[in-house]
Chains A and B, each alone.
Chain A
């Protein structure tokens, strides 16, 4: 058998026994440090990215769907949208869709009790959205986000759902930057004006979401919208589409473009519809997370270095004896590398168990309450495996260097401790 394979065998023999018979509390301490190093590496960047990804997911679920068609620049509606809707409705790979009418509007509240007309009216401008309540709810599950009152019921008329950020009590965190309606509750009557036409609606409910296209809009039924806005051509402003897993977002978009619908609508995948600034924040957060993680790796590797160095220094005499009785330096190095690998692997394994068994489910169940998103913990497996590999490589280097330093010392000096 070659010297190399003998060295590997003896290195493993020594390493396993050193690990097995080393001080247990020291082992626990080192593994704990490596676990926290791993978590620091994965979780910090995961949370930072998760703040944005959480927002993106909410945007997809509550607003865009997988693909969204919107009004072209310079146009007020999607021309011939009923053809578009018909095509989407008959596409076997489309699972759900919703069509939304949009128009600028003014909503005024408490006008019946207004006594001092020199004061500003309790009103707000915003986008009025006409929807099929059942279709929209099936698409975006919007009724789940009603925080007061009820969502629109199919077939009923004269009711309005207000986005929470239109109301003073929900948008106080925005300060005085935006005007908002004061003292408006479900059951109150509000006056909605569109293109000079005014109609009263009863507030059915308040919808609260971190997706601004939901929380800054007001919703009425399609029939009420058409009547109020006089939009007789039935052209809508947004068509949200969800598809099954047999097709990608991009393929669905390309199919719609191939059908010529890009001539009348701006068609985007959910990812494309994410505003640029959010993509830039995501990139910046990812970099920041990696930077913090890298600092964690440096700290962890220094820890391993110190542990192995102290271990090697205190065992210098025994390293000398091993060399003295003919054990190759490679075998001794392997025994230390095995220890480093064990600490790195154990820390990563324990960290992964905590990550996927505890933290990810916990963040999914209780997302971080951020002003613009519900922050989740993003920890996809390939990225985690890469981080584990980085941690192991750094740990091995951190273990190898001090072992090598001690092993290179003169054999007799090591034995005699001089």
Chain B
């Protein structure tokens, strides 16, 4: 499903050059639940951004489901993210002026679903994670755990091939974090490919595989 070869990422800040990723090769199969772990600053989130097409690697190639994504134009990458990928961010990243339902509807509408279709799918997604009763609430009216669950609903409502999660439990208490992981376990059971960055080892026990990043390399 994902084949990354020789991924490097270098940041330049004036005269300071930082090599965050130094040539990572990895393969993730369809339906796998993979955790990326590493110390702070090891480059695990940077790797996730490259795999998730949110950033361009300095060198190397990434092939997702047969598409060499590093060769795609900006517009094609946007369309690819819309149709093939889903994202969950550490700070939920919900749009504050949209209700839970509307947040989930946005990518569906962008895919060309009618408003009613998008509403129905978003509603089903929210009900699936036990947030049906909160669908008309704004993010500011929900707890952190609830917001993260809405974020998950938004990420999976359009049935992406791969779900990327960047430390999805980092801002949550243990109970909410556990609830999020339970949702991931359910999604995984249904065959969803998941790539999750985390620094919490206890959550990796549910993963098929853990990729450790240290000093810009997969170890």
Contacts and interface: CB of A to CB of B under 8 A. Distances in A.
A415 B95 CA distance: 12
Interface string A267-287: 000000000000000000000
A358 interface: no
A327 B106 contact: yes
Interface string B71-109: 000010011011101010100010111100010011101
A329 B78 CA distance: 9
Interface residues of A, number: 29
Interface in A7-30: 7, 9-10, 13-14, 17-18, 20-22
Secondary structure call for the B interface = helix
Interface in A279-332: 317-318, 321-329, 331
A17 B98 contact: yes
Secondary structure call for the A interface = helix
Interface in A251-266: none
B37 to A, nearest CB: 20
Given A10-B106, A14-B106, A412-B54, A321 B93 contact: yes
A323 B78 contact: yes
A6 interface: yes
A3 interface: yes
A415 B102 CA distance: 20
B29 interface: no
Interface residues of B, number: 29
Contact of B89 (A3, A7, A9, A321): A321
Contacts of B95: 14, 318, 321-322
Contacts of B110: 6-7, 10, 326-328, 331
B97 A411 contact: no
A325 B107 contact: yes
Contacts of B107: 325-327
Nearest to A21: B97
A331 B112 CA distance: 13
A325 B54 contact: no
A381 interface: no
A324 B110 CA distance: 12
Contacts of A410: 55
A6 B75 CA distance: 14
B81 A326 contact: yes
A1 interface: yes
Nearest to A13: B109
Nearest to B84: A326
A325 B81 contact: yes
Nearest to B55: A412
B111 interface: yes
Interface string A324-361: 11111101000000000000000000000000000000
A317 B89 CA distance: 12
Contact of A17 (B78, B87, B102, B155): B102
Contacts of A329: 78
A317 B94 CA distance: 10
B54 A411 contact: yes
Interface in B35-59: 49, 54-55
Contacts of B115: 9, 13
Given A14-B106, A17-B102, A325 B87 contact: yes
Nearest to A5: B112
Interface of B: 49, 54-55, 75, 78-79, 81-83, 85, 87, 89, 93, 95-98, 102, 105-107, 109-112, 115, 138, 154-155
Which 6 A-B residue pairs are closest in the complex by CB-CB distance?
Answer: A326-B82, A1-B112, A21-B97, A321-B93, A326-B81, A412-B55
Given A323-B78, A326-B81, 17 more contacts: A3-B79, A9-B109, A18-B97, A317-B93, A321-B93, A322-B95, A324-B54, A325-B106, A325-B155, A326-B78, A326-B110, A327-B82, A327-B110, A328-B75, A410-B55, A411-B55, A412-B49
